[in-house]
Every structure is written in C-alpha cells, then in structure tokens.
Structure 1
Amino acid sequence: MVSYYSYRAINNTYVRDAVEKNSYLLEMEKLHILNQIEAMERAAQMAFEDKDVKSYLANEREPDVGELVDFNTNAYINLMRIQFNNPNIEHLRLYSQSPSVHEIWPMIYREERVISEPWFQKGMRGKGQEVWAFQNTDSEPMQSYIGLTPKNTPKISLLREMSIPAGHHIGMVQVDMLLERFTPKTYTKVQDSQSQMFLVDDEMQLFTRTDHSFLPGNPNMTKAIADRTRKYQETGEWDIHYEENGKNYLLINTPLDLIHASLVNVVSMEGVMSDISHTRNLIIGANIGFIVLVTVIANVLNAFILKNLRRLTEAMKKVRRGEAYSGITIRGGGEVGELAHHFSKLMNTINTLVAQAVQKQALSKEAELRTLHNQIDAHFLYNTLENIKMLAEIENQRTISDALTSLGGMMRYNFKWCGEYVKLRDEIRHIENYIDVMNIRFEHPIELVLNIAPAYLELEVLKMSLQPIVENSVKHAWPGGDTETASRKIHIEVEEAASDIFISIRDNGIGLTPERLASLNNAIFNTKEPDIELAGPGKGSRQAGGIGLRNVYQRLQLFYGESYGLEVQSKTGEWTMVSMCLPKVLLTGENNDDEASNRG
C-alpha cells in the first residue's frame, strides 16, 4: 500500500513538474512574442502616422524630381531608420493605390503588384485596424516580374489599411518578421528532443520546425492540436493529455490574443514514464529497509536540524539587536544549511553595500568641500584673468592671451564640480586647455592627437579621470625636458567592443622597464593602500594633490563596478599607454561651457 501511494505521488509529481517547467518555457516564449509584437506595432504606427508618407502614397500625379529628392532625403530616410532600428523586422513595405506613384524598392510599391494576394485581401477587410497574417513563404512583390522563387521561410505580417480622409483608401502598411525570429524556441536548432513548440494561427495552420517533429510518427496529432485549439477558443477548456501509438504526450497551451493565435508545447512523457517505472521498482525494494530505519533516522535528523536552526535563529537575533555579524558556519546540507548560506551571503552583501555607500558619501562630501573651497573668490579670479587677457590683446600679445584663455577654461572646469559624470567632449576640451598651458614652458611643444568618432564625444566618463593620466605623461614621458628635440605626441583613441568603451592614452616618451611596469600595475590593482608612492606615471599628480592612477582606478571600480578599470602598458624607450575600460553610456542634452553635463 505504501509503495502504491508513493508511486502515485511520484507519478503526479513528475507530471506536475513537467507541466510547470514547460508552462514556464511557454510563458517566457510568449513574453518574447509580445515584445516582438510591440516592436512591429511601433514600426507600423510610425510609418502610418507619417504625413509625408501618406501624402506621397495618395499623390495622383507623377511626382517631379524635386519632390522625389525631398521625399527620399526626409520621409524615406525615416522609414529606413525605422527598419534599421528594429533588426528583427524582415521587411517594412508600403503599398499605394495610385498608379502614378513612383516605386522605391524595396520599400514602396504599387498595390497592383500584390492586390490578388490573400494576405492583402485580409488586410483590406480590417478597415484601418491592425490585421495579422501568417504566410508559409517569404515572397517578394517583384518575384513574378523578375523570376524570383519565394523563400521557403514562414513569416508573420502586420497589415493596416491607410486612408485619408477616413474612408478614402490610399494604401497599405506591411511589417514582416520571420517566424524563426518571432518565436525562436519554436524554430531553434537546439530544441529539447522530448518537447516541441507549435504556433497555431486563426486558420488552424501549424508552424514549427520540420527537421525535428513529432508529426511524422503521429499523423493524428495535427488534427488533435487544431481541434483542441478550436474548442479552447469556443469554450475556454483545454485537455493537456494526449495519447497516440501507445505513447503519452502533454499538450500545454497559451493563447496569443493580440494576433488571434495560440502557442502549444507538446511534451513527450516517454522518458518521464521510464523514470517513473524505474523509481517504482526502487521504492518497492527500499521500503523494506526504510520502515526499520525511519524512526531512528527521523530522530537523528530532527535533532540535527533543530540544533542548526537554533544557531541560525540566534545569529539573526544578534543582527537585529545591531551587533556586528561575524559569520555562521552550519555543516551539512538541507534547507537550514542552504538558508544559513544565503543569510551569510545576504549579510556580506549588506556590509559591502554599506561600505560602498559610506565611501561614496565620503568622496562626494570631499568633492563638495573641495569645490566649495575652490569657489572662494572664483569670480574674482575669472575677472582678473579676463582683465589680464584684454591687456595682452591690447598689447597684441596673442600667445599670452591664448594661454590665459586656456587657463581660464581649466579653472572653470575644475571649480564647477556639479557631479561625478561629464561628457567625453568636456574632458577632452579640458585636456586641450591643459596642453596649451603646458606648451608655454616648452621650446618643443607637445602635440595632442585625437582619434575619436564624433558619436563617442557624447559618452559618459568620470570627471577628471583622463586629465591626470595626460598630466603624468607630460611630467614623466620626457624627463630630458627641452633638450629632447624629437616630436612629442600624446594620442587619445576611443574604441568600442562588446558594449564596452576602451579609451587609450599613449605617449611616445621613454617608457618603463618591465620591472617598473609590473610594480606600477601591482600598486594600482592592490586592494590595500601601498606603502610606497606610485613613481612614474601617476606620481606627479599624487604629489600635486590631484588624482593619481590608483585613485582613478578606484573611482572607476566604485562608480562602474569591478569589471571596469585601467591598465598601464609600456615598451622601454618607445612608448607608454594607459588603457581605460568603462561601460557605454551616452549623455544627452545641450553642451554647456559653464557647467559640465552630468547625469546626477
């Protein structure tokens, strides 16, 4: 009797777990489909509401060259941008009823090319509402004219009739997406051999992968899925159990009301039933010995669990009273051991977050105090520099005037500390001012070479994160001073890889020896405060009270996470390069010379 009820319980558990697991997979796929539907609707809506597009489709006369050029450089570019911004969309097409419209392939066609297609007639019956149509092939409007063969790739189309004013038909919007992108789990090549997803449309057509399917060995399954889907649409009832050829299957369904379709996951129970039979045999053999030992084992486990549970409870009470958490060790597994493990991880995370919050607050307060200190008599300094600059211009001392302009820009950038983040263009402008000021000292000036795409100038960077590195290069790359006549260059380059930004600052100075380079990188990456100063790059900025390489590295780690930071590379006698890695974040808005943009 015990074995029988145990077998029934295990059987129900296996079936319930299979249903829950595959229902979860089905819901995740449904969520993906809903996101794709939203993307297609958004693309169709943007094209539908474009007045220039409607005007072009409704034009009953042949457009002149000027109108075509204007449409191509404005409205058509916007249409292309809609499709390019949604890479999963296969086609965005517009059809015009006007025989005079100028076709622009592959986006704008005359209706006469597709008016006989069933999907077009279905879209017309929508009367301006969104209509969804499934197709077994991805056909081109021009295929009958240029001899193309339709691609044997199923797709879904969002159709919407266009009319102005209401009731006057002018054309049709069509947004296509291949089903392998619309529902990837239905067409995936790594699908579980024990399950298969089907997409059923409103006409009871089944769409799925053909090279991995239960259908060839179960000829009645197609009709069973269609009949149950139809019954579900009529009554809301669904039977998950199905049997054919002596094999049991689970049919799990979820409706897709927005497109009048259903997503069905067919799960084979063959492997599950084999496991259940094996488990049943084990239960029968194990029950004989289990009955004898169950009382002793239960008592031992109960005492062990309660002991560990009391230890865990005491640790929680100490934390609640505000005492410092020193950790708890509970040997063995089980729920209590797992709970203790996660409680320890939770407390460690809380302590880490508290430490980070305190550190961030300290850095912010330090920055505020430094800014407040620097802003004392700031306007007096600005006005004094401006007066000296005007005197230099009156005396036709352009070099002095330009130097004062650069110095004023540097002071303004340093004093106006409105947040931790600025645009890359602001940091670069500050570096250019710094180089201009420093070049006054040198007979052979330093050349700043920038290799930065315009789009990257809007990137978010930490304020004063690049200038200390450039300052180190200026102070330490050429120790011979003006006795060195070779060209002095500092290169700044920005690259993108895997959604991260890499900024490299490289000089053509004397470089570092391998030993000195290893020591420098070790001092930067060391989590403890080093006992020695960072010589070479970074030393000058530390002695001057600025932010050294270690400080820049710690700020990057603090504000962006442990995946980001910097590294120094060098070749003795040739160059030194500092590479910085940070996430790609674009700051939007107008650039302001007086106040650096920030996201705070």
Structure 2
Amino acid sequence: MRERTGALWNSFRYWWGRRSLQSRLIAAYIFIILGPSLLVSFYSYKAINNTYMRDSIEKNSYLLQMEKLYVLNQIEAMARVAQMASSDKGVESYLVSEDDPTLGELIDFNTTTYVSLSQMQFNNPNIEHLRLFSASRNVHELWPVIFREDRVSMEPWFQKALQREGEHFWSFQKTDPDLMRRYSGEVEPGPAKVSLLKEISIPKGHHVGMVQVDMLLSKFVPKAYTSVQDNESQMMLADAELNLFTRTDHSVLPENAGLAAAIKDRLAVFRKTGEWEMEYKENGNSFMLIQAPLEQIDASLVTVVSMKGLMMDISRTRNLIIGVNIGFIFLVTAIAYVLNAFILKNLRRLTETMKKVRRGEPYGSIRVSGGGEVGELAHHFSKLMNTINTLVAQAVHKQALSKEAELRTLHNQIDAHFLYNTLENIKMLAEIENQRTISDALTRLGGMMRYNFKWTGEYVKLRDEIRHIQNYVEVMNIRFEHTIQLELNIDSTYLEVEVLKMSLQPIVENSVKHAWNAEGVELTDRIVRIDLTEAEGDIFIVVRDNGLGLTPERLTQLHEGIYAKEEPGADPSGTSRGGYKAGGVGLRNVHQRLQLFYGEAYGLEVQSEAGKWTAVYMSLPKVLLTGDNQR
C-alpha cells in the first residue's frame, strides 16, 4: 500500500512538474481560495443547519406548550363541572333516594337542580356530556344526565374509577357509545373522547353513585385532530397506558410502521428515567419527537415533526452555497488567467527565444520591458548566450587541437608497435643465445611499455597496477648492484578494486630514485612495502621504504610542492616553491589526479623519519571494476 501511494505521488509530481507556470499559478490561486472558501462554507452550512433545527424545535415546542396550556384549561373546566355537580345538595338527595319521588318532587328537581346541571353544560360548550350515575335501582333516569349504574357498571373504566375512592380518574376512549343503545343493531364508532370520573360517597365510604364529565378529544386536544393538512408535524396524546390518540387522515403513522412503537418505548423510558430522545429515523425519513407531560391526567402530549421539508430547505441552502462558491472560483480563475497572461507575457517571449536557440536558430538579442525577476532573467540569459558563443568558439579551437593530438597519438602508436617488434626480435636472439636473464628483462620491459602506451581509460584494476610495479622493480634491479625487494601485503579480494592508472608506480619510482640515494652509505636490504587497508568504505594504500628518510625541513618543502596551488606563470620545468623537482612533481601529479577524479577528500600524505623510513599514504574510495577497464 505504501509503495502504491509513493508511486501515485511520484506520478502526480511528474505530471505537475510538466504543467506550465500559468497553469500552476492558477491552480495555486484556486487552492488558496478553495480551502478557506470550503472551510467557511462548511461552518456556514453547519450553522444554518443548526439554526434551522433549533428554530424548528423551538417553534414546535412553543406550539406544544400552548396546546398544553389549553389542555390544562379544559382539565380545570371539567374538574370544576364535576365538583359542582357532585356537591349539589339536590343531586345528592336525588341519587341517595330509595323511594319513588312524588310528582311535586320531580317537578321541583326538574325546575331547579336539573336546570342547574343543564346550565353547567351550557356554560361549558366544549363539554360533550355531564352524566350522573346512581347506585339506586329505584332512581328515575332523566336523560341525558341521570342514569342508573347498571348501564356502565361492567365498563373497565367504571371499575378503575371505583378503585380511586373519590379521586379523579381520567379515561381516554376511542369511541363515545350511546348509553340508551337506541341503535343497538348498528356499530357506531363515534368520536374519541376523554372522561373525568369521580365516585360520590354519602357519607364518606358509602358509595351512592358516580359523576362523569365527557369531552371529545377533538375539543380537548384540538391540534391533535385538526382538519388542516400539515405535512410537517402531527400532535398526539398518549394516555397512562401509552395508547396514542390523533387524527387518522394525513397521518404519518401508516407510512412509518415503527413510529408508534418508538414513541411508546420512549415515553416508557421517560416515565422511568426522565430522559427523552428526540431524533428518530425510519424509511430514510428523519423525525423530531417533542413531548410535554400532563401530570394532572397522567398523560403526555407528543409532536412528531417531519424533517423532510426542513431537509429540503437545508439542501437548497447548501446548493446555493456551493453554487456561489463555484461561481466565485470561476470568477477568480478568469481574473487570475487574464492577469497572469499579462504578467507572464515577457516570460513567454523569453521562453520562445530559448526554444529557438535550442532548435539551433541563431541568437540575436531579446528585449524585455520593465524590471523584476523576468527582466533580470532575460538580462542573464543574454549574458549566458554571449558566454556560450565565446565558449563555442573556444571549443572549436580545442577540437582542432584535439584532432592534431589524435594524429600525433596515432603516429606514436605506430612507433610503439615498431618498438614492441624490435624488443621481441632481441628477446628471441637472447633466448637463442641462452641468455635467460636478458630475455626476462626484455619481457618485463615490454610489459611496461605496453602498460604505458595502452591508455584506454583512466581507471585500471589494482592487480594491473601491481603487475606494472613488479615489472618496473625487476627492470630496475638490472641497473643497480643491490636489488630492491618488493613486499605486498594486499588481500586478494582487493585486487579487483579500481585505481587511477600510473598512480602507484610514480610513488614506487620516487622511492627507488631517492630513498637510498646517498653517498658513502651502504644499505644491503632495500625494501619497498605496499599495504592496503579499508575503513568506512574507503581504501588506504601505504607505500613504505626503509630508506634514509627526510628531515623535517625537507619534508615541509616536499609538502609545499605537493599541495601548492597552480599559479599563473609557473615554471613548466616542474620546480616547486620548495625546490624539490622529480619526486615532488611526480607526487604532486598523482595527488592532483586523485582529487580531480575522486574529490578533494582524497589524495596523498607523506610521512617520514630521518634515517629510518618514508611512507606515502594514498586514500581513495572503494569501487569494484567490472569488465576490462570499465567502471
């Protein structure tokens, strides 16, 4: 995964690097503007979303509280009617009477108490029924107010009201049945209603009857049964048993089968813990559930708010924000394009001139009006082209000189072949005369000449350089009375590393010429030792002799000759400021070549102790050669 990400990033960087400067500037403008714009839009959209949600919740909560106040007023009105009806002396005496009333008593009751009961209902038009139930079987029923209890004694709500022992009991019913059962052959659903029931005990503890005050739920909770189509919200009433009462037309319940169960579950949790969860989702629709408890009647008002319309408003706002951002970005892009085209006009002229030069067309001059970086770049480009023209002229001259040197090299090669053939003829004559020493010397001399003349590259294997040094020492031993011993302390694994050609041989030659060159001094063991070590990826070669060494003053002069910088007008004979000629020039040449090809961190260092030894330390990087003289 990381490799794939890296590859994609590299591909993008390559693609991005090939875009024009104007395209990258415009992309940068868009990115700089797009970031803050997206950030501001995100927070604006979030704030608008929260505002819409808060306003919707506050609006519906306010309506719910207003409805709750209305319901509380209706509860108070029903309770007041029930209290007035149950405490009326005429009602009490009529309900407890076991004897049949006389005609005069009936007329008196009808003209006073019954009129008073009718007036109570008349003064409260929202009350649907005011009914008094008597436990006496001899009471005369006065429809629609006074009835015997046996008409309702088997109803569940009647038994529950008796258990309250005089306390108010509120019953919510889906229908309002006809007590007279005049339409017993028909099923009449009737409207839903709420009933206030209170037992009448005279004296206390002695049941004589019950008062019932009914009100239709469409008047008790009008917003739950409103006929106005409202697709955004719907109010419901939940009783103590978590039964929901609301309108059936344009309801959200049929389309969302789990909504009613969710409301009941949350009401049950609220009544136990006091916690209420407002958000609900079903079938991809979002709802807000807002509730207000009605402690007086052990019920709750619940408003279901559909968020569909609100989400559409929020979506429109979001689309408007996105459209404004896109339009703003397009406008800024167009302005940036025009400005960049004007600003980068001179840069394009300079680019076109460079392309013409690259195609080989002659360069005359370029004029860029104004200053700034582009003007400075054009100025330096003109200077550069003038310099290039000068260098081209010099290169042509050097190329002519190189051709001449190449011809001379070809001539030298012809001479070298002549020498090789001559040496081979002399070697054969020596072998015919059985002069093995002369034959071996000629073989080694031929090897040295081949090594010197065959200059196919700057780098050779250490093995080849060591073989050349061995040939050189053997040839030198023919010249001198005392032989020179060459000791090699080099592991075979390092014989394949690269070294500069003719880098070690001048150091050994320097030892052979100068280490034992002293009058009146006899040295029987002349030893040149070559050691090789490795440290931190670098190779260190030490060429040590057991010669007379150098005094500190002579060593200082030698260092000055090796490390001195080239100066104009230097003597071409090779004499250094220190006065040291042959040895200093050879070591200086090797030191400069090492730094030229490997860097200034590498080179030579000479150490010596007068009368004992001299050592030359060479440092170079460890590089293995593959093939024949190929890096």
Which range, TM-score by smaller chain? 0.3 to 0.5
- Rg: which structure is higher? 2
TM-score scaled to structure 2, two decimals?
0.45
